[in-house]
A and B are shown apart, each in its own frame.
Chain A
Amino acid sequence: MRMGGEPLLAVARFELPAGSCTILSGRNGAGKTTLLKIAAGLMRPDQATVQTGGTCVDWRSARPTLRKHSIYMHQHAYMFDTSVADNVAYGLRKAGVPAAQRNDAVHKALEWAGLAQLAARNARHLSGGERQRLALARARVLSPAVLLLDEPTTNMDREARQQSFFLIRRLVSEGTGVVIASHDRQIIGQLGDQHLHLADGRLREMDMDSAAAHTRTTAAIAQSAGEAL
């Protein structure tokens, strides 16, 4: 992938395993957002192939599949100018899900995210942490195979971050493959099952913290954030 004639990305392989959380780190401008958007089918690379199962096709042919099975979340998730409930229902409505089924799914998603009491509020009136939870609920309700989060906890207070961590961990345990672009060490330590570092356009696998520390921290997140929601 080139930007302005200069090579930006020369990634040999970017694997997105189901039911695990991959942390993608790298300095600002390294190309993390670009890589995530390519994986989500939102940005066209100069050249790329996509392998799903045993089949390998070029990116252009795979774009509908990428868009169907993955969801990308911006650093500051965009909220449609409508209610919280309608934001969660957006993807279901576009997929033609009947109203009764859709309303039930929206209600469950809002309960999952701890936002049921805000269903009727305009989504743009939510706090940063509430918007992030809404964005996660909006994605979860569509059951994506892969969820690509771009710096999801920027400018969040501690409580909002822990709540987001809790929901992300639940998504992973439900089988979603989550990729988080972040250079935040707390995210790497508390959420990551694998850590990839992007530098000079190339991906390098990094060592993770010890499994024991990771497990202890995960349990603590589950307890405190679950109580908060």
Chain B
Amino acid sequence: MGEILRATGEALSLLFSGEPALWDIIGISFSVSLRAILVSAPLAVLVAFVLTVARFPGRRTLISTFNSLMAVPAVVVGLTVYLLLSRSGPMGDLKLLFTQAAMIIGQIVLAFPLLVAMSHAALQAAERDAWETAITLGARPWQAMLTIMYEVRFALLAAVIAGFARIIAEVGCSMMVGGNILGVTRNIPTAIALETSKGEFVQGIALGMVLLFLALFLNFVLSFMQGKGELH
């Protein structure tokens, strides 16, 4: 217990000392996950909108598929992306394995079903009257779509925050496709796994504190957003 407390104290000192290697890892985590969310979120919301308003064969099956894909473990996603990007895989020539691009691809695949499912739920909750009111007042369909998204903006933001929270804390996918290379693909979760396996707890605890603080902060914001999105 004393050892853990000592390590925690050192971890706090390490964090506030601005140690470059530590903050490099934190920077890579945020950079990779933010880029993954920026790419996946708009497309996911668009897909969710189509699933909400369009009627086509297989629509319900597609919705169920996205809901089910949320449950796929991160390491399975990582394995799948690894096989695709490996030298013998169909995208091996792109030489993306063990790069930040591979991590971004993996996190996009991980976040996309969650973003679609939650965005779809948010858009479904929007009243059909909102769509009809927008159209009857002269909005074109794409304008009405933006209006509806604005009407459920808090729920959509909650979906994006939930997606971000999932990918920034995952280790399975990042470890497999990133390779945990210092200064390149070592992010917070993979660094914690590595340092803990070496018995070096100080950096692991410091990074764990960052992740814990981030998780609490994101969940607080999520609760706030979902509260704002409640029916008036």
A interface list, Cβ under 8 A from B: 37, 40-42, 67-68, 70-72, 74, 76-78, 80-81, 90-91, 94-95, 124, 138-139, 142
Contact = CB atoms under 8 A, between A and B. Distances in A.
Interface in B126-149: 127, 129-130, 132-140, 143, 147
Given A80-B147, A91-B138, A74 B232 contact: no
B10 interface: no
Contacts, number: 49
B137 A90 contact: yes
Contacts of A94: 137-140, 143
B138 A42 contact: no
Contact of A42 (B130, B136, B139, B151): B136
Contacts of A138: 137
Provide the main secondary structure of the chain B interface.
helix
Nearest to B137: A91
A227 B143 CA distance: 39
Nearest to B152: A81
Contacts of B133: 74, 77-78, 80
Contacts of B129: 74, 76, 78
B151 A80 contact: yes
24 contacts: A40-B136, A41-B136, A42-B136, A67-B135, A71-B136, A71-B137, A72-B136, A74-B129, A74-B132, A74-B133, A77-B133, A78-B127, A78-B133, A80-B130, A80-B147, A80-B151, A81-B151, A90-B137, A91-B137, A91-B138, A91-B139, A94-B137, A94-B140, A95-B138
A22 to B, nearest CB: 18
Nearest to B140: A94
B148 to A, nearest CB: 10
A96 to B, nearest CB: 10
Contacts of A76: 129
Nearest to A74: B129
Contact of B138 (A37, A77, A124, A142): A142
A142 B150 CA distance: 22
A41 B151 CA distance: 23
Given A94-B143, A124-B232, A68 B138 contact: yes
B150 to A, nearest CB: 8
Contacts of B136: 40-42, 67, 70-72
Contacts of A42: 132, 135-136
A104 to B, nearest CB: 18
